A and B are shown apart, each in its own frame.
Chain A
Amino acid sequence: MLKVESITQIFGGLTALENVSFSVAPHSITGVIGPNGAGKTTLFNIVTGLYTQTEGKVYLGDKNISFFEPEVLARLGLVRTFQNVELFGQMSVLENVMVGLHTKSKSGIFSCAFKLPGQIKEEKRIKEKAYQWLEFTGLADSADVTACNLPFGKGRLLEISRAMAVEPQIILMDEPAAGLNSRETAGLAGLIRKIQELGVTIVLVEHDMELVMDVCESIIVLNLGKKLAHGTPREIQENKAVIAAYLGED
């Protein structure tokens, strides 16, 4: 599904990632873990086209997507969420999800300004679709709330609804549980499984080990920019190098 091949990223002399390779199986849930500064978010930024890697390649299926822009990746079915929740704060919750449907609609500036019949129909369709995604994540009640007024936990859910509206093949979540309380985290685990049931491949960076061990089928460990291990949750828990890295860091 997703294949990362010998990625190296150097920021002005500082090596953030060094020769990292792995692949993610279709329809699986993969966790990327590692101590702070391990390069997890950098890896996400490279895969999603926000950074240009110094070296290495990224494949989506058979397609080489190494230097694709994020907007192109969205059309190919690769989306992400952000560690710090990047909502469209001034827009309503519903409108946020409707932006997620941008690639699923095509009215141009002309037909939008003149409200041509095709545009009105399309607008109705994406509005309904957006509601469906809000129902999927349980946010339908907040549809008309301005996004910046949402409590943090719901903001995370909105970000996931919005990403799902793109109807991705694969979704990358950057610390989806950060800032959530335990009840919300449990709900998140359920949601992640629900997303998997739709046939979507999931990759998540996460610090909440309980969540990672619970939902992930496969785990990649990064440490100081290098891949330390890749295996099932059980294998990772028993891996000496991983334990040393975590204990050594803490």
Chain B
Amino acid sequence: MDNPSQLVQYILTGLSNGAIYALIGFGFAIIHNATGILNFAQGEFVMLGGMFTIFILSFLNIPLPMAIVLAIAFSTLVGILFERLAIRPLKNVKPLSLVIITIGASIFIRGAAMLIWGKDTHALPAFSGNEPLYVYGATIMPQHLWIFGITILIIIANKLFFSYSILGKAMRACAYNAYAASLVGIDVKIMVLLSFVVSAAIGSMAGIIIAPLTMTSYDVGIMLGIKGFCAVIIGGMSSGLGTVLGGLLLGLLESLGAGYISASYKDAFAFIILLLILFIRPEGLFKQKETQRV
């Protein structure tokens, strides 16, 4: 069935997945820029967002929006605990130790999720029904619109926060030079904690809006995490437009590759793209090459 409407369908799926990857990528960039750490556990926040929402809904009889707010709050709490218990106590550690600790945290969170919620796959109800809309013969689920809408909102909020709010500016200052920032009275520790908070919140939001479309389970974090990482690498480790484009590009390539080449190698496409980017342009596609100071 090779026809234009199918192409539109692939593009649509690609864009909505890509939006999610971009949001996950933001999470990576925010923590990385504040601390120099690449948080391997970023994907787990995404998993937690979806899983918390599902289980809050099943235990408490509350409306979806409230469940979402609670789920984001819980995921953020996990982010805070992670930072307080495993990152802050460290002093003068080798970069390798940080890599191992974040990997440890990632599989710990995943394992805990498995113990608490089991190995089953769960579905979150779509935010506004499953009545599809038709555009050029392709079906759009209302959830796609939610994904696009919320992603755009987060991108704008993120931009406003880092460009105009005092807190956002302080975080950026820490990213440039933590020591200088501390000299002008910015509490660097708080900023680091805050970066985990923001990044856990954005990550869990991404997990919540995608859950109705793709289902979720304790182990979705790793794949989503790596794809978000791929997006942020393409975007040159920024929480800006580069990463959004990176995410959309990855989503599109993946979806078209799965549609026209081979569906069973869908995930492999993403990883091949990741390796190619890391090998050829690790500084990102949208960033000018700079000489690094040793």
Contact = CB atoms under 8 A, between A and B. Distances in A.
A52 B294 contact: no
B91 interface: no
A107 interface: no
A51 B292 CA distance: 8
Contacts of A52: 291
Contacts of A51: 291, 294
Contacts of A45: 294
Contacts of B291: 11-12, 51-52
A50 interface: yes
Nearest to A41: B294
B290 interface: yes
10 contacts: A11-B290, A11-B291, A11-B293, A12-B290, A12-B291, A45-B294, A50-B294, A51-B291, A51-B294, A52-B291
A45 B292 CA distance: 12
| A interface bracket (residues with beta carbon within 8 Å of B) | under 10
Contacts, number: 10
A51 B290 CA distance: 12
Nearest to A42: B293
A45 B291 CA distance: 12
Interface of A: 11-12, 45, 50-52
A17 to B, nearest CB: 12
Most buried by B among A12, A45, A50: A12
Interface in B245-294: 290-291, 293-294
Contacts of A11: 290-291, 293
Given A51-B294, A52-B291, 8 more contacts: A11-B290, A11-B291, A11-B293, A12-B290, A12-B291, A45-B294, A50-B294, A51-B291
Contacts of A50: 294
A52 B291 CA distance: 8
Nearest to A53: B291
Most buried by A among B290, B291, B293, B294: B291
A113 B30 CA distance: 45
Contacts of B293: 11
A109 B290 CA distance: 36
A240 to B, nearest CB: 33
A154 B267 CA distance: 54
Nearest to A51: B291
Nearest to A82: B294
A45 B293 CA distance: 10
A52 B290 CA distance: 11
Nearest to A45: B294
A208 B249 CA distance: 55
B239 to A, nearest CB: 20
10 closest residue pairs by CB, A with B: A12-B290, A11-B291, A50-B294, A45-B294, A11-B293, A51-B291, A12-B291, A52-B291, A51-B294, A11-B290
Nearest to B288: A12
A51 B291 CA distance: 8
A164 to B, nearest CB: 23
A184 B291 CA distance: 36
A50 B291 CA distance: 11
A11 B293 CA distance: 8
Contacts of B290: 11-12
A11 B288 CA distance: 12
Nearest to B289: A12
A80 to B, nearest CB: 12
A11 B294 CA distance: 12
A149 B290 CA distance: 37
B272 to A, nearest CB: 30
A157 B208 CA distance: 59
A39 to B, nearest CB: 12
Interface string B186-215: 000000000000000000000000000000
